[in-house]
C-alpha cells in the first residue's frame, strides 16, 4: 500500500483537516493545526508531502522519524502540529486496513469509557454559577473555566477576589464534590499566581492549569508550595523532549499533551508512559475538532493514567460550527453522565462527513486569538 495524495481543508470555526489517500482506496483523516496559525501548519504539511507520496502508510514510526528528524530543524508548534495530523491519518488508515481500532495496536483497551469535562464561560466569564449548574443538570460531573482577564506582573488583589467569587458561585450552585478546574491560561505571572493559588485552596479544585507560562516552568516549584490543588500543564509543549524537563522537575501532577500538537497518537502515548513512571496523571488537551477528539479517545482507551478528557462541544470558540457537525454519525460522541464511550470502529472510530467538510472549506476561516492589553497599554497574555 502506498500514499498517493493528501488534501487539506481549512474549516470553521478554527480547524484544519487532512485527508491522506492510498492506492488501495483506504483513506485516513487527521487534524494538524495550531489555533490561529492554521495557514502556517497547512503550508508545513504541504511541504512534507515530498516525504509522504509513495510511502507505505503502515510504517508509522519510520515516517514519523523521517518527518521529525529528516529536516534537521525540529520541534516547535508548526512542525510538531503538522506531524501530529499526518500521524493521526496514518493510524486511521492502518486501523481500517487491519479492521481494528487504533487502541488495539497500542496495547489494547484498559477502560470501557472515559470521563469528560466541558468548558463554561468564555475569555471573560460571567454568571458562571448558573452555567455550571446547567452543565451539571446535563450530566457533566466537572467543568473548566478561565480564571482571569488581563493580569499585570503586579496587580490589584481585586482580581484575585473576582476569581474566588466566581468559583464560590459554582460551589454554591453545584455542591461540595462537583469537579472544578481553573485554567490560568498562562495569563498570570509568578507573583500574582502565588496569591491566587493560595486563595483558591478553600475550594478543593480538581486542578489548576498553566498557573504560569510553560516556558517559565521553573516557577512551578515555588507555586507548588502555595497550593494544595493538583497542577496541570502541557498544552504548549511539543514531543517527549519538551515534557522531559517537566517530569524531571517533579512538581506537576497532570500533563495535558495535545494530540494535534505534541506529535500525534503514538508520541503522546510515549509521553503518557513517561508520566506513569513519574506517578503523573494525563488529561489530554483538546479544544479542537472531531478528529483530534477521536485520536485522544483512542489513546485514552489504552492509557491507564489518563483520567479525564477535554472536549469542545459548545465551547465559546465554536460559534457557527461545532464538533458534531462534521461527523456522519454524531452519536459516536454521545455523552452520558459525564462520560463518553470509546469509539470501537476501525481506525480512529469515526466517519467524516466529507461533503460537509468540502462545503465548509469553500468559506474557510482566518481565526486569530484576540490581543489583550493591560490598563497601561502594555501587551497582556491571552
Catalytic residues, which ones?
Answer: 185, 285
Q: Is the peptide bond before 13 cis (omega within 30 degrees of 0)?
A: yes
> 145 near 125, Cβ under 8 Å?
yes
What does the alpha-carbon distance between residue 288 and residue 310 come to, in Å, rounded to a whole number?
A: 9
Residues near 93 by beta carbon (within 8 Å), at least 6 away in sequence: 1, 20, 22, 26, 27, 28, 57, 58, 347
- Count how many residues are written for the chain: 382
Residue 237: which of 85, 117, 76 has the closest Cα?
76
Amino acid at each position: 500500500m502506498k500514499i498517493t495524495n493528501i488534501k487539506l481543508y481549512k474549516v470553521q470555526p478554527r480547524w484544519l483537516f487532512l485527508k491522506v489517500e492510498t492506492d488501495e482506496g483506504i483513506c485516513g483523516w487527521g487534524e494538524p493545526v495550531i489555533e490561529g496559525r492554521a495557514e502556517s501548519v497547512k503550508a508545513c504539511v504541504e511541504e512534507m508531502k515530498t516525504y509522504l507520496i509513495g510511502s507505505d502508510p503502515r510504517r508509522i514510526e519510520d515516517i514519523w522519524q523521517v518527518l521529525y528528524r529528516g529536516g534537521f530543524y525540529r520541534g516547535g508548534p508548526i512542525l510538531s502540529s503538522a506531524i501530529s495530523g499526518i500521524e493521526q491519518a496514518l493510524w486511521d488508515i492502518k486501523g481500517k486496513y487491519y479492521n481494528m481500532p487504533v487502541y488495539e495496536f497500542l496495547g489494547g483497551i484498559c477502560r470501557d469509557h472515559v470521563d469528560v469535562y466541558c468548558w463554561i464561560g468564555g475569555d471573560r466569564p460571567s454568571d458562571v454559577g448558573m452555567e455550571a449548574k446547567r452543565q451539571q443538570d446535563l450530566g457533566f460531573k466537572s467543568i473548566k473555566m478561565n480564571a482571569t482577564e488581563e493580569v499585570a506582573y503586579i496587580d490589584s488583589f481585586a482580581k484575585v477576589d473576582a476569581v474566588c467569587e466566581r468559583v464560590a458561585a459554582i460551589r454554591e450552585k453545584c455542591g461540595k464534590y462537583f469537579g472544578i478546574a481553573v485554567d490560568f491560561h498562562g495569563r498570570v505571572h509568578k507573583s500574582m499566581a502565588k496569591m491566587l493559588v493560595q486563595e483558591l485552596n478553600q475550594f478543593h479544585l480538581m486542578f489548576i492549569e498553566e498557573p504560569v507560562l510553560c516556558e517559565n516552568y521553573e516557577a512551578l516549584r515555588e507555586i507548588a508550595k502555595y497550593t494544595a490543588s493538583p497542577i496541570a500543564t502541557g498544552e504548549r509543549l511539543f514531543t517527549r523532549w519538551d515534557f522531559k524537563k517537566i517530569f524531571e522537575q517533579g512538581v506537576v501532577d497532570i500533563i495535558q499533551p495535545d494530540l494535534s500538537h505534541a506529535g500525534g497518537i503514538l508520541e503522546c502515548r510515549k509521553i503518557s508512559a513517561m508520566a506513569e513512571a513519574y506517578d503523573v496523571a494525563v488529561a489530554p488537551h483538546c479544544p479542537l475538532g472531531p478528529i483530534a477528539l477521536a485520536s485522544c479517545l483512542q489513546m485514552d482507551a489504552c492509557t491507564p493514567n489518563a483520567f479525564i478528557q477535554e472536549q469542545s462541544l459548545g465551547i465559546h470558540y465554536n460559534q457557527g460550527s461545532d464538533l458534531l457537525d462534521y461527523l456522519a454519525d454524531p452519536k459516536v460522541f454521545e455523552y452520558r453522565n459525564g462520560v463518553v464511550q470509546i469509539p470501537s470502529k476501525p481506525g480512529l472510530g469515526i466517519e467524516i462527513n466529507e461533503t460537509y467538510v468540502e462545503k465548509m472549506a469553500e468559506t474557510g476561516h482566518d481565526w486569530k486569538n484576540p490581543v489583550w492589553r493591560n490598563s497601561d497599554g502594555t501587551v497582556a497574555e491571552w
